[in-house]
Amino acid sequence: MLNVNGIDVGYGHAMVLHDVSLELKKGEMVFIVGRNGAGKTTLLKTISGIMQPANGGITYDGEDTRGLSAEKLARRGMRFVAQDKKVFTHLTVRDNLQLAAHASKEKMSDAIQKATSIYPDLSKFMESKAGGLSGGQREILLIGRALVGSPRLLLIDEPTEGLAAIVIEDISRILNQLKSENVSAIIVEQNLSLVNRLADRIYVMKEGKIIKEIADKSEMRDTAGLENYL
């Protein structure tokens, strides 16, 4: 459903992605791993239309995305959950979901149902200000919000970054649930034990390039081996 074909991407004239190619088939959960500064976020931002490649191209459901804005891609079901865990802090959890429901023209009851399907406890916080949520709860809200409407492709940037071990388990369970529902997703993640439990395939990035694709199950489960590529 997604093909990234030899893209170069930069900030101004400074290129940070070099000839990056990857593919995602419908229903796959693919992980991208790599050190800080490898270019993982830049890659997700480019797929989601926030940044444009200088060379190469991307097709989404067979359509060339060149010239399609992030808003247009979102309307076609692409959902980017950014690394910064930014929610609308002054709004309630309900109103955060309401904005997503409005944007995707979905009924509010359906939006709440989708968001709480991954984490029933979210219903307890509906009338709380999102600014009062913990980092983990914010991430869960953001993933829940991404499920509103008709998401076809989730792009999630470091969902467990900065979270306590117990919350990482919640996120892991949520991702596992999405996987069992055959949600198509590209997830950037540095927690290798989570990656090797959930990945259908793994791409390793280093210095703006994809240096390795791992599709072999036993190789994917070998955390120490994965570590060697980082």
What is the binding site for Mg ion (CB under 5 A)?
Answer: 40-41, 83
Nearer to Mg ion, 45 or 94 (CB): 45
Residue 153 token pair? 């492709």
Distance between CA atoms of residues 158 and 166, nearest Å: 16
φ, ψ dihedrals at 150, nearest 5° = -125, 75
Nearest approach in angstroms of CB 14 to ligand ATP is 6
Nearest approach in angstroms of CB 230 to ligand ATP is 11
Tell how strand 153-157 and strand 185-188 pair up.
Answer: parallel
Within 13 A of 14's CA, how many CA atoms are on the CB side?
5
Residue 131: name its binding partner from ligand ATP, Mg ion, none (Cβ under 5 to 8 Å by kind): none
State the residues that interact with ligand ATP by CB under 6 A: 11, 16, 34, 36-42, 83
Nearest approach in angstroms of CB 8 to ligand ATP is 13
Nearest approach in angstroms of CB 163 to Mg ion is 15
Distance between CA atoms of residues 14 and 39, nearest Å: 12
Residue 36: name its binding partner from ligand ATP, Mg ion, none (Cβ under 5 to 8 Å by kind): ligand ATP
Nearer to Mg ion, 41 or 172 (CB): 41
Is-contact 185 155, C-beta < 8 A?
yes
Nearer to Mg ion, 97 or 186 (CB): 186
Distance between CA atoms of residues 216 and 125, nearest Å: 41
Nearer to ligand ATP, 83 or 113 (CB): 83
Tell how strand 78-81 and strand 2-11 pair up.
Answer: unpaired
Residue 34: name its binding partner from Mg ion, ligand ATP, none (Cβ under 5 to 8 Å by kind): ligand ATP
